[in-house]
Amino acid sequence: MSFEKLEIAISPCPNDTFIFGPLVLGWIKVPFRMEFYFEDIETLNRMALTGEVPVIKLSFAVLPEVAERYLVLPVGAALGRGVGPLLVARKPYTPAKVPELRVLLPGEHTTAHLLFRLAFPGATRKAFVPYHEIMPRLQDGEAEAGVIIHEGRFVFRDYGLYEILDLGAWWERETGLPIPLGGIFARRDLLPERLQVLTTAIRQSLELARERFEELYPFIAQKARELSREVIERHITTYVNDFTWDLGQEGRKVLKVLAEKVKPDAQILVWEEK
């Protein structure tokens, strides 16, 4: 079995480079050439709206918008409990004050924005900036509050910021389900044989990442944004879990609930392995 090249776009965040690193570095043999691109999550979300990349990491918030073009792979996802975006601010405001504040968000199509929108439907003073700029901009006084993601939850206090609301915990209280952050999406026009090979290869990559972490670490650190080893390891431990290996029934249920809140008629499809 042989295929031509397959383009894959993921983020440079430690959880993605941990999962895909062995594939990027050629540690795993597959019957086609993989060409990887690294972009921030909002850029990836916007790329998916045109369907230009066959395999891509996306926020689950954008799933209802791209469901006609993409399906979800059962491997590589970031879901969990206690891992959601945080609403932080320069002062210890109460949640009731949030609609009056100017809030920075990491992208219009991100899960962070969706959760913020669901939790604070009356908040309209929003601005979208790259996620890694939110805390420095808050520190510089450009806004009163911001929603942080990824490693931001580990370091926001270093910027003198206060937690106003854990949006992930809010979602868990509202639904009783884990937070659906992001996953690996594949275009529906890809052949089933290729999807099967890809799914298996990602799992092999995840296994190798765990077995050969010390060898893989320099690659992860190179892609990360000036993060310490401690933060990188906490990032991976937080966002790579059992749902990453397989969505399972609970993960599939989460995606259905999310779609119902955003676009009830969306036809969500998760690739089922043979």
Instruction: Please give the annotated binding residues for substrate, written as ranges.
Output: 57-59, 111-112
User: Which are the contacts of 200, defined by CB distance < 8 A and separation ≥ 6?
Assistant: none
Residue of 109, 113, 132, 150 marked catalytic: 150
Q: Are 235 and 13 in contact (CB under 8 A)?
A: yes
Query: Burial, 78: exposed, middle or buried (Cβ in 10 Å; 0-12, 13-18, 19+)?
Result: buried
The residue to which tokens 């945080």 are assigned: 86
Which element (helix H / strand E) includes 56?
Answer: strand 55-59
Known binding-site residues equal: 57-59, 111-112
**150: annotated active-site residue:** yes
Q: For the chain, how far is it from start to end, CA to CA, in angstroms?
A: 16
Distance between CA 108 and CA 215 in Å, rounded?
Answer: 36
Pairing of strands 126-128, 103-105: parallel
Report, as residue numbers or ranges, the catalytic residues. 150
